[in-house]
Amino acid sequence: MKRFVTAFAASAALLASSAWADATAELSQLLQPLASISGKFHQTLTDERGEVLQKSSGTFSVERPGKLRWETGEPFPQLLVTNNKKLWLYDPDLEQVTIRPVDKRMKETPALLLGGKVGEIRSSFNVASKDGAFQLTPKSASAPFRAMEIRFADSGLPAAMTVRDSMGQTTKIKFSRVKANPSLAAALFNFEPPAGTDIIRDE
């Protein structure tokens, strides 16, 4: 009986590993042709009880590898820019920008996944496919989120993303007017703080 249980557990683990591999390959095939993406987003943040904490919208541009511009408008304007080496988080209301180097943990953020190195998905996440969506669980305990789900439109472009953090909060993001492989200016992924901006270096 013990041998049967052991063999069954080994088979189950093998099947799970195979399923993860298939889902990872499928997700990689969708992301690989997208050297760059741009569009609009609308996101909703809810707490563990499902109550809405904040709604916001804005525009985004992503270019592989690891370049991102995520600009949020009302009600709280904010700009996040990274060139894959340095990250700027600018708050125009506070006239303040935080500058920090991009480390492995930051490369595991949901938005950067869209423009990251496709080959790193397998080493960073367990991936499963369910009901037409890809569910990603970080392998690293230090990852900035607990679980993520990505859905694609029939066109093969990202349509929605759901992110759950360790505090029980959930961010749902819907993408619109998404363009595949647009030509993006290099200046989009660098940031020069306006005169008078307080600069905080988190190094």
List pLDDT tens digits, range 84-138.
889 999 999 999 999 998 876 665 566 667 776 777 788 888 899 988 899 998 8
What separation in angstroms does the CA of 121 have from each of 23, 98, 126, 137, 140?
11, 28, 8, 11, 12
Written as six digits, the tokens of 11 are: 């088979």
User: What is the DSSP code (8-state) at residue 100?
Assistant: E
State the Cα–Cα distance between residues 111 and 77, nearest whole angstrom: 18
pLDDT attached to residue 4: 38
pLDDT attached to residue 109: 66
Written as six digits, the tokens of 38 are: 């741009």
Sign of the alpha-carbon dihedral angle for 79, 164, 162, 149: positive
State the Cα–Cα distance between residues 189 and 70, nearest whole angstrom: 10
Written as six digits, the tokens of 102 are: 């991009």
Q: Which residues contact 159 (CB under 8 A, 6 or more apart)?
A: 151, 152, 153, 174, 175, 178
Please state the pTM of the whole predicted model.
Answer: 0.81
Q: Which residues contact 116 (CB under 8 A, 6 or more apart)?
A: 64, 65, 66, 107
pLDDT attached to residue 123: 80
The pLDDT tens digits for 129-165 are 988 899 998 888 777 788 999 999 998 899 999 999 8
3-state secondary structure of 116: coil
Give the CA-trace dihedral at 199, 64, 148, 101, to 10 degrees.
-30
Give the CA-trace dihedral at 101, 67, 118, 73, to 10 degrees.
110
3-state secondary structure of 189: helix
Contact 169, 46 (CB under 8 A): yes
CATH 2.50.20.10 fits 39-201, yes or no: yes
Domain boundaries, the chain: 39-201
pLDDT attached to residue 6: 41
